[in-house]
Amino acid sequence: MNLDFWPKNPKANLVVSLSNLLVPLFALVLLILFNISCSKRPADSTSGANEKAESNQQASDPNNKKPPRPEHKHPAFTERVEERARFVAIQIRARNVNDPDVLKAMRTVPRHSFVQHPNKNVFNSNLMRAYADHPLPIGFDQTISQPYIVAFMTEALKLKPDYKVLEIGTGSGYQAAVCAEIAQEVYTIEIVEPLAKRAEKLLKELGYKNVFVKAGDGYFGWPEKAPFDAIIGTAATGRIPDPLIEQLKPGGRMIIPYENSLGFQYLVLITKDDKGNLHKKNVMPVRFVPMTGEVQKKQK
């Protein structure tokens, strides 16, 4: 080690050594005092405060018209969870429905709630079959669709979190709930008024605040809320209603059961390009209850 820079006077050496020790010691004392001073200050909660303020602002902002996301506080969401996971894996994912949002929605929505008898004390065999892959009766000559068909049709719409969806044929409300797990808003119309009221009540109980139910003829759509990013029909028609075509947003997608003159039904996927041109594709043979109301008059 080269020591040529040290002074040759012993006293000077001592002074230099002490100074070399005191300088870092003094710096250490200053650092400790600084840390103590900082620790006595109030914790910096700017980030948390900003998040809370932003949340409060969104809740109280009259211009913020986005409906809240679905809540999952109802006990039904914690019931038969393993059953739902199993039926999604075996009946849906294994049959090439791969959209992760759709699979998650199907695992989340408690289908057994939608097949339960309004009087919960009445024995209902549908409860035992809630997660079997076939349609079930819900009264008024209507059915809740087969789970695989629900998943297939939902995936075909390619829903996004900011989408507004129109459903024709609320039925039990199950399809609307599945769409509401993904999309921002779901507007659903049911021509059988008792079914509409029952579905609306159930959806509210389950926490689907972003689903809006109306009793009426789905042929006319919901013009006050148009245009829609996606439209889904759950009843078969021999003619695609013109109002639904008009209410579909350019770039939007519609899937609806279509029945030809021979009585064969199949799902038809309709896309509207940015210029308003329609493109139709038959995607799957199906069997749905018929659409009633104005569409029947038009068909005749």
Quickly count: other Cβ atoms within 10 Å of residue 75's Cβ.
Answer: 8
Q: Given this model, what pLDDT does residue 120 score?
A: 72
Q: How far apart are CA 165 and CA 153, in angstroms?
A: 13
- Ordered domains of the chain (ranges, CATH): 75-299 (3.40.50.150)
* pLDDT value of residue 117: 74
* Rounded CA separation 199/174 (Å): 9
Cα separation, 97 vs 103, in Å, equals 8
The one catalytic residue among 37, 55, 145, 172: 145
Give yes or no: 145 in active site: yes
SS (H, E, C) 190-248: ECCHHHHHHHHHHHHHHCCCCEEEEECCHHHCCHHHCCEEEEEECCEECCCCHHHHHHE
Q: How far is CA 245 from CA 29, 42, 51, 256, in A?
A: 77, 60, 42, 12
pLDDT tens series, the chain, 300 aa: 444 434 445 444 444 454 555 545 555 555 555 454 444 444 333 333 443 443 344 444 555 667 889 999 999 999 999 999 999 999 999 999 999 999 999 999 999 999 987 677 666 888 999 999 999 999 999 999 999 999 999 999 999 999 999 999 999 999 999 999 999 999 999 999 999 999 999 999 999 999 999 999 999 999 999 999 999 999 999 999 999 999 999 999 999 999 998 889 999 999 999 999 999 999 999 999 999 999 888 655
Which residues have a Cβ under 8 Å from the Cβ of 93 and sit 6 or more positions away? 103
